[in-house]
Amino acid sequence: MIDRRRFAAAMLATTLMARTARAGGDPFALDGHFEQGGIARGQLPAGASDLRFNDQPVPVAADRRFLIAFDRDAPAAAVLAATGSGGHALRADLAIAPRAWNISRLDQLPKYPVPSAEFEARRPAELARIAAARAKQTLAEGWRQRFAWPATGRISTLFGSQRIYAGEPGAYHSGIDIALPTGTPVRAPADGAVILAAEAPFTLEGNLLMLDHGMGLSSAFLHLSRIDVAEGVVVRQGQLLGAVGATGRATGPHLHWGMMWRGARIDPLLAAGAMPA
- Binding site residues, Zn ion, CB under 5 A: 177, 256
Whole-number minimum distance, CB 132 to Zn ion, in Å? 22
Q: What angle do CA 62, 63, 67 make, to 5 degrees?
A: 90
Whole-number minimum distance, CB 134 to Zn ion, in Å? 18
Q: Which is nearer to Zn ion, 157 or 239 (CB)?
A: 157
SS3 track for 68-106: EECCCCCCCEEEEEEECCCCCEEEEEEECECCCCCEEEE
**Residue number with the smallest Cβ distance to Zn ion:** 256
Q: Which helix (H) or strand (E) holds 192?
A: strand 192-197
> What pairs with residue 3 in β-bridges?
none
Q: Which is nearer to Zn ion, 80 or 255 (CB)?
A: 255
Q: Which is nearer to Zn ion, 256 or 262 (CB)?
A: 256
User: Can you tell me the distance from the alpha carbon of 143 to that of 166, in angstroms, rounded to the nearest whole number?
Assistant: 40
Whole-number minimum distance, CB 187 to Zn ion, in Å? 18
Q: Which is nearer to Zn ion, 51 or 186 (CB)?
A: 186
User: Can you tell me the distance from the alpha carbon of 106 to that of 27, in angstroms, rounded to the nearest whole number?
Assistant: 46
Whole-number minimum distance, CB 157 to Zn ion, in Å? 6
Q: Which is nearer to Zn ion, 92 or 151 (CB)?
A: 151
Whole-number minimum distance, CB 258 to Zn ion, in Å? 8
User: Can you tell me the distance from the alpha carbon of 18 to that of 40, in angstroms, rounded to the nearest whole number?
Assistant: 9
Return the SS3 of 210: strand
Whole-number minimum distance, CB 173 to Zn ion, in Å? 6
Residue 174 phi, psi dihedral angles, 5° rounding: -85, 0
Q: Which is nearer to Zn ion, 180 or 215 (CB)?
A: 180
Whole-number minimum distance, CB 160 to Zn ion, in Å? 11
User: Can you tell me the distance from the alpha carbon of 54 to that of 172, in angstroms, rounded to the nearest whole number?
Assistant: 24
DSSP code for 243: E
Nearest residue to 207 via CA among 217, 194, 216, 218: 194
**CA distance readout (Å), 240 to 133, 151, 255:** 20, 10, 14
Q: Which is nearer to Zn ion, 73 or 141 (CB)?
A: 73
